[in-house]
Amino acid sequence: MVKEEHLSFGSVDVVELAERYGTPLYVTDENKLRANIRAYKKTFGNTSIGTDIFFAVKANGNLALLKVLAQEGAGADVFSAGELQLTKLAGIPREKILFNGNSKSEDDLRAAVESGVKISVDSRDELRALAAVTDERGKEAAIAIRVNPDVSPDVNPKIATGLKESKFGVPYPEIISICEEVKQYRNIALTGLHCHIGSQILKLDVFGEAAEKMMNLVMQLHDRGIELEFVDLGGGLGIGYSDEDKKIAPTPDDLAAVLLPVLEDRMSSLNLKLILEPGRSIVGSTTILLSRVNTVKQAHKNFVAVDAGFNLLIRPVMYDAYHEVVVANRQNEPASTLYTVVGPVCESGDIIAKDRMLPEVKRGDLIAIHDAGAYGFSMSSQYNGRPRCAEVLVNDGEVDLIRARESVEDLLRAQKVPERLT
């Protein structure tokens, strides 16, 4: 039973969760996760273009979540050999995995070729290195070329990835010639074009612009006798972190409404598949981060100091990102006081939430930070000698631990002291 004044998440009383598992604690609602991926599948399942959803593992690499997504039929966009390994363990089939990255090592290329996954090639230099690896291994690789489409979404510049000056992809004017070059390599098959224009995109017109640019390339290639199997338009759909953004937060239906008029005729006639790589819009809303109040201080501002900082959720510091915070053990009390919620890290920038109206907060209260499922745990660190926190999965009142809390031994595990210093 959830107490009335306590926040309920996945039909579980989060105050009890915090007592049982300790804080800080990431809590994910399995039903929300399934609902989010199903929304994509429903929307794009109803179109004439065959669509695969490749979840962007960088947003959340928890194996239990990946298993849920694999059960729902998702594929994966991976950015490293480590993420590739996670998706294999989750049971995602190799045909549904795209190995991305702008800086792949020989080992990365070997891992991708050996696994038989699709590879998104980010440069001419990489294409040549990959050709050498496929010849050395005597294996074939199916590739996409990562296109830099030169479009500018209205987002924080740190998360715009398709700008002309961005480090990702092959410059747009060079795409046709790199695709022609692929023909020289006997073990490489060009099967797709790929782009990803940015993240947390709320104004969707840029998706239409990118899709048009990609289709323009597809048609030019078609005219030259180069036929593809898929076009991958990446991820990027934004979510409503603040009340204001919630009013305009797009859905997969909204994305389809922008994409389909551009894609449907040409893709159907060429029998091309569409791949999308959502990360945030699949996992962002599924998770809260619970954090205990260590201290309340009236100084220049009213500070609420909690036990989770940018070591566990770096988004507010790195992108000035907004996350809603609530007092989870007294959620019905009216907001009365202006607080700034800060973490325990030894840096002035370690601020989770600036100037928020909350009920009067006391030491020992429990704070819930909302929408922390994307780029939360996956960007965490052990900075300041803080072991990472635990993660639990809740499902209709059931709770499972899906990652154990780290201990001080985990901080020491890989460290070595030279003999002469002992």
For position 317 contacting ligand LLP by CB under 6 A, the verdict is no
Taking CB under 6 A as the rule, does residue 200 contact ligand LLP? yes
Nearer to ligand LLP, 303 or 319 (CB): 319
Shorter beta-carbon distance to ligand LLP: residue 52 or 277: 277
Residues 284, 315: Cα–Cα separation, whole Å: 12
- Single residue of 199, 287, 329, 331 touching ligand LLP by CB under 6 A: 199
Is 126 a binder of ligand LLP (CB under 6 A)?
no
Selected from 280, 323, 330, 370, the binder of ligand LLP by CB under 6 A is 280
In terms of CB distance, is 30 or 277 closer to ligand LLP? 277
N-terminal to C-terminal alpha carbon distance within the chain = 55
Residue 169 binding ligand LLP, by CB under 6 A: no
Q: Rounded CA gap, 231 and 277, in Å?
A: 11
Question: Rule CB under 6 A: is residue 319 a binding residue for ligand LLP?
Answer: yes
Pair of tokens at residue 83: 């993420």
389 as an active site residue: the answer is: no
Report, in Å, the least distance between residue 249 CB and ligand LLP.
Answer: 13
Q: What are phi and psi of 314, to 5 degrees?
A: -90, -10
Interface region with ligand LLP, contact rule CB under 6 A, candidates 7-15, 68-76, 279-287, 356-364: 279-287
Task: Pick the closer one to ligand LLP by CB: 160 or 293.
Answer: 160
Contact 346, 292 (CB under 8 A): no
For residue 277, state whether it binds ligand LLP (rule: CB under 6 A). Answer: yes
Q: Quick check: 100 binds ligand LLP (CB under 6 A)? A: yes
Q: Does 373 bind ligand LLP (CB under 6 A)?
A: no
Quick note: the x/- pattern for ligand LLP over 320-359, rule CB under 6 A, is: ----------------------------------------
Q: Count the residues of the shown chain that bind ligand LLP, applying the rule CB under 6 A.
A: 23
Closer Cβ to ligand LLP, 44 or 375, answer by number: 375
Provide the mask over 232-271, with x wherever binding to ligand LLP is found by CB under 6 A and - wherever it is not.
Answer: --xxxx----------------------------------
**What is the widest separation between alpha-carbon atoms in the chain?**
71
- Is 44 an interacting residue with respect to ligand LLP (CB under 6 A)? no
- Spot the catalytic one: 179, 195, 346, 389: 346
Q: Please state the closest distance from residue 140 (CB atom) to ligand LLP, in A.
A: 23
Does residue 315 interact with ligand LLP by CB under 6 A? Answer: yes
Q: Which stretch binds ligand LLP (CB under 6 A): 20-28, 52-60, 169-177, 184-192?
A: 52-60
Site mask for ligand LLP (CB under 6 A), range 172-191, x = bound: --------------------
Q: Which of residues 135-164 bind ligand LLP (CB under 6 A)?
A: 159, 161
Sign of the alpha-carbon dihedral angle for 264, 268, 269, 275: positive
Residues 6 or more apart whose Cβ sits within 8 Å of residue 420 = none
CA distance linking residue 332 with residue 8, whole number of Å: 12
By beta-carbon proximity to ligand LLP, the closer residue of 101 and 344 is: 101
Tell me the β-bridge partners of 53. 276
Query: Does 56 participate in binding ligand LLP (rule CB under 6 A)?
Result: yes
230 lies in the site for ligand LLP, by CB under 6 A = no
Applying CB under 6 A, among 9, 99, 339, 375 the residue interacting with ligand LLP is 375
Which of the residues are catalytic? Answer: 346
* Residue ranges in contact with ligand LLP by CB under 6 A: 56, 58-59, 77, 100, 159, 161, 196, 199-200, 234-237, 277-281, 315, 319, 374-375
